[in-house]
Amino acid sequence: MALLYVALLHFPVYDKNGAVVTSAVTHMDIHDIARSGRTFGVRRFYIVTPVGALRDLAGRILRHWGTGHGAEYNRTRKDALEIVRLTEDLDDTIIDVEHDAGAPPLLLVTSARTRRPTITYGGLRRLIRDGVRPLLVLFGTGWGLTEEVIGRADHLLPAITGIDTYNHLSVRTAAGIILDRVCGARDELEEART
């Protein structure tokens, strides 16, 4: 099995007008994606922001739930947040993955705007199963990852769609769905093949 990593980038991302911005760190993103990551076997979940004050704030949240009263109050939250790491940018994140996994990761990106995916979710499932390289899946906050980041990816995953063209999922939900698609227990997915 390949080691699986997830990163949530707060820079560089687009705002609603297409400008490249740094977005704020949202507490609910940390908690929800950490819980999904812990459920689906993600080894580390990176909160990536160049803003030192926001990394410090996130670090205080992690310490609150990781030790002392918070850890006693909510054990499942502590277990989830143990996979969270704080990094400054994508390059630092890649270095940390390489240091942890012993090899540089393949970069995968997902975007609601993806028009020409280069890998399917089944393909990603096979990459995990075959385990040749560690895998780092990138998510963007705000209105999504910039073209510059997308251009660095080894693979583009398909956009998640339902009945029509509306696909404005929260990044928290999108991360959960994608992890379920590639790491969810197989029995139920197999049953869905009718």
List of residues contacting its own copies (CB under 8 A): 16, 28, 31-32, 35-36, 38-41, 74, 76-77, 79-80, 120-123, 125-126, 158, 160-164, 166-170, 172-177, 179-185, 187-194
Closest approach of Cβ 95 to its own copies, in Å?
26
Nearer to its own copies, 79 or 92 (CB): 79
Closest approach of Cβ 155 to its own copies, in Å?
14
CA distance 96 to 130: 22
Closest approach of Cβ 66 to its own copies, in Å?
16
Closest approach of Cβ 120 to its own copies, in Å?
4
Nearer to its own copies, 94 or 140 (CB): 140
CA distance 99 to 101: 6
Largest CA distance in the chain: 50
Query: Which distant-in-sequence residues (6+ apart) come within 8 Å of 149 by Cβ?
Result: 9, 12, 90, 109, 138, 140
* Phi/psi at 52 (5° precision): -60, -40
Nearer to its own copies, 92 or 180 (CB): 180
Nearer to its own copies, 9 or 175 (CB): 175
Which residue, among 57, 58, 44, 60, has the nearest Cα to 6 in the 3D structure?
44
